[in-house]
Amino acid sequence: MTIDETNINSVTSGDIVLTGDRPSGCLHLGHYVGSLRNRVLLQDKCKCYLLVADVQALSANFDHPEEVRKNVIEVCKDYLAVGIDPNKTTIFIQSMIPELTELTIYAMNLISVARLERNPTVKAELQTKSFANNITSGFLNHPVSQMADITMFKATAIPVGEDQLPLLEVSNEIVRRFNSIYKSDVLKECRGILGDVTRLVGIDGKAKASKSLGNAIMLCEEPADLKAKVFSMYTDPNHINVSDPGRVEGNVVFTYLDAFWSDKAELEDLKNQYKKGGLGDVALKSMLHNCLSHILEPIRSKRASVHEKEVLEVLMDGTNEARKVATETLRQVKDAMGLIYQ
Ligand code: TRP
């Protein structure tokens, strides 16, 4: 069965939203269009949880946990900088909710190793890891731990990038098995909420934007680096003179304008002009540069004003609140399984 995927319009006040990021570095524009932008809107619609998945990040960084710790703070700064409001969204740290680990262990019995190995998200991510030929059980278990994250908070709507959808499918499979075996309705199935842009290419046009590939524009990009990145974007190698007709498909500048330029009619005109000839790459890149500066400048200045102490306070408050919910759900889970001994 495939996962339901809808957009933000399907979310109602009765939904519970949960999403998260692995703290493996600062966030970039791909995260912004894929999910962050939606999260800011969703926090006014219904209950929202946001988890910083440090346990999950450790599976690829177990030998340098200090990096993970540092990035927990960086990712949370990004959240606050884009407008996620801790008074509306409960932001918390995965490793500080041990109930998640416990639920993961129970759920591990409900899915086969073969099913986990077949998961496209796990397979794709594995290719970029040094242990690709020697997969750890921690890494293989991501979909199960993610299922625990989602179901612990009874989340029904999960804003994620398209690449994460197969993980939600696994989560729902485990939920159905749990509820049928333990004759329960404690755990809830979820659906994926995709952003308007499900996958942002890197500035090289080759792959998905990613920090590790160095082809992403970071939310905290310095102005000079932003400019350098926009002006180095892949366009149409055959568009040499301004008067030459140019290609719009596969042209990264247009891909980014599609994602960020709000006046769609104007953008259509630009595309037609480019195709005919007469619109130069430098002019086009300047437009994109202005547009992105406009988006990133307030994010950068907000980010600079947030101090680590404030970030930690936000995380501790959110974690305390999340832990209360987790304690109650785990009690219900153990009750359904007949594991309450008092
Ligand atoms: N896997 C997500 C990522 O790669 C992080 C994550 C962990 C998550 N648990 C989750 C996302 C639960 C959505 C729901 O960044």
pLDDT at 184 over 80: yes
* Helix, strand, coil percentages for the chain (3-state, nearest 5): 55, 10, 35
Domain assignment of residue 210, yes or no = no
Same-domain status, 130 and 109: yes
Q: Which atom of ligand 1 is nearest to the CA of 159?
A: 13
Same-domain status, 263 and 315: no
Mean pLDDT along residues 213-227: 94
Q: pLDDT tens across 251-271, in order?
A: 999 999 999 999 999 999 999
Same-domain status, 163 and 20: yes
Domain count, the chain: 2
Q: Which structural domain, as residue segments, surrounds residue 252?
A: 223-303
Q: pLDDT tens across 274-316, in order?
A: 999 999 999 999 999 999 999 999 999 999 999 999 999 999 9
* Total-model pTM: 0.93
Q: What is the CATH number of the domain that holds 233?
A: 1.10.240.10
- Give the tokens for residue 278: 């007469």
Same-domain status, 333 and 241: no
Same-domain status, 59 and 147: yes
Q: Which residues pair with 65 in a beta bridge?
A: none
For residues 104 and 145, is the Cβ–Cβ distance under 8 A? yes
Same-domain status, 169 and 283: no
Distance between CA 300 and CA 257 in Å, rounded?
A: 20
Same-domain status, 124 and 147: yes
Domain assignment of residue 197, yes or no = yes
- Residue 10: CB atoms within 10 Å: 12
Same-domain status, 64 and 110: yes
Domain assignment of residue 70, yes or no = yes
Whether residue 59 has its Cβ less than 6 Å from ligand 1: no
Same-domain status, 282 and 311: no
Cα of 237 to ligand 1 centre, how many Å?
37
Cα of 292 to ligand 1 centre, how many Å?
26
Domain assignment of residue 208, yes or no = no
Cα of 194 to ligand 1 centre, how many Å?
14
Q: What is the CATH number of the domain that holds 190?
A: 3.40.50.620
Same-domain status, 9 and 38: yes
Same-domain status, 135 and 42: yes
Q: pLDDT tens across 147-171, in order?
A: 999 999 999 999 988 888 999 999 9
Instruction: Please compute, for residue 135, the number of CA atoms within 13 A of its CA located in the half-sphere on the CB side.
Output: 15
